[in-house]
Amino acid sequence: MCTYTTVHADVDGSAKGPGSAWFHAGRATVYFDHPVHAMAEHTLNIDLTDPAGDPARRVALELTAESARALVAAIQQALAAVPEELKV
């Protein structure tokens, strides 16, 4: 199916994308839908983009649901290990 579901998050950081160039990542678009490349019917897709920039400046992830949950858990684990004074 096309889920049409699209969730946005404003983010602030950098991503390394096409042509091995770094760019400002200002937005994450997250959706569970057909992938372009991954060999699965549906994947959890994340587009990290600079909303003001060229559409080609995009880091795209297509993860199976299971691996997306593993990624979330890994991020949570890494953040949980950070001392309080560094969490800004």
Partner 1 sequence: MTATLVRFAGHAGDEIEAYVARPEAEFRRGGVVVIHHMPGWDRGSKEITRRFAELGYDAVCPNLYHREAPGAAPDDAAAVARAQGGVPDERLVGDVGAAAAYLRSLPTSNGKVGVIGYCSGGRQSVLAACHLDLDAAVDCYGAFVTGEVPTEFPLKITNLVDQLPNLRTPLLGLFGAEDRYPSPDQVAELEQILTAEGKTFEFHSYEGAGHAFFANERPSYNVAAANDGWERIEAFYGRYLGA
Q: How many residues bind partner 1 (CB under 8 A)?
A: 25
Q: Which is nearer to partner 1, 33 or 67 (CB)?
A: 33
Q: Is 58 in the site for partner 1 (CB under 8 A)?
A: yes
Which residues inside 18-57 make contact with partner 1, applying CB under 8 A? 27, 29, 31, 33-34, 36, 39-41, 47, 49, 51, 54-56
Residue 79 DSSP SS3: helix
- Return the biggest CA–CA distance within the chain: 45
Count the alpha carbons within 13 Å of 27 in the hemisphere toward its beta carbon.
Answer: 12
Distance CA 48, CA 18 (A): 12
Q: Is 6 in the site for partner 1 (CB under 8 A)?
A: yes
